[in-house]
Structure 1
Amino acid sequence: MPWFVLLASAVFEAAWATALGMSDGFSRPGPTAVFLVTLTISMLGLGWSAKHITIGTAYAVWVGVGAALTVACAMATGAESASPVKVVFIAGIVAAVIGLKLVPESPRTGPRRSPEKGRAPGGAPTHSPESDRR
């Protein structure tokens, strides 16, 4: 389910990016409203997915799929020129996203927190009493 939500939020990312371009600097109400709604949905989906998929992978997939869809939409509508080279590079982004899905994630060992100030990750002090006397 997290991957489905992540991919859906990437589709909404492409929608908000396209609407942003059509909003003419937020001066057109229709595209601006679409931008705000799809941006909110996209961010909520990314945030929820990042609870289940590591943030690095989730963000890379979200951006990659969103960018590929945004360019594909622009090329399909004629807003951007299409060329075989562009298609190859967009396919490369899609291949990288598929690769990220296929690579097994290492299990999380618990919440990632920064260590306490003055303590190493294992809880040991990061300094010795002698260093305090200097």
Structure 2
Amino acid sequence: MAWIYLAVAGLFEVVWAFSMKQSDGFTRPWPTAITIVGMAASVWFLALSMKVLPLGTAYVIWTGIGAIGAFALGLALLGESADPLRLVAAGLILAGLVLMKIAAPQ
């Protein structure tokens, strides 16, 4: 169950990062509210996962899901650059997440 909590925490990480971009510096109420709720939910699910998973594993995977997810949304929805070096960098982050999961004791 801890891995499910961690995946949900990572998804909320993506939600709040995207909403923060849409909040335009916290000047738009709905995206700002979604950002705050997403942050709280993300940290709450992360805390639940950390009851079982090691700190380093949980934190690295949580931030990695957020980073890769935000990167993907930036490409897909915000027209951000899909420069080959950026794609390689994202691929390296993803590879690190896979290795961290494989190496996890749980």
1:21: how far off? Answer: 1.3
The residue that corresponds to 2:42 in the other structure is 42
Once residues 78 and 20 of structure 1 are traced to their aligned partners in structure 2, the CA distance between those partners, rounded to angstroms, is 13
Once residues 43 and 78 of structure 1 are traced to their aligned partners in structure 2, the CA distance between those partners, rounded to angstroms, is 25
Once residues 68 and 24 of structure 1 are traced to their aligned partners in structure 2, the CA distance between those partners, rounded to angstroms, is 21
Could you tell me the TM-score, scaled by structure 2's length?
0.93
How many aligned positions are there? 106
The residue that corresponds to 2:87 in the other structure is 87
Higher Cα Rg, which structure: 1
Deviations along 1:100-125, one digit per CA (max 9) or x if unpaired, are: 111142x8xxxxxxxxxxxxxxxxxx
What CA RMSD, in Å, does the superposition of the two structures yield over aligned residues?
Answer: 1.4
Q: Which runs of 4+ in 1 moved over 6 A?
A: none
Letter in 1 for 2:29: P
Deviations along 1:63-114, one digit per CA (max 9) or x if unpaired, are: 0111010011001113421122211211111111111111142x8xxxxxxx
Deviations along 1:23-45, one digit per CA (max 9) or x if unpaired, are: 11211001001101111110100
Q: Which has the higher helix share?
A: 2
The residue that corresponds to 2:9 in the other structure is 9
Q: How does 1:31-110 map to 2 (within 5 A)?
A: 31-105=31-105
Give 5+ residue unaligned stretches, structure 2.
none
Give 5+ residue unaligned stretches, structure 1.
108-134
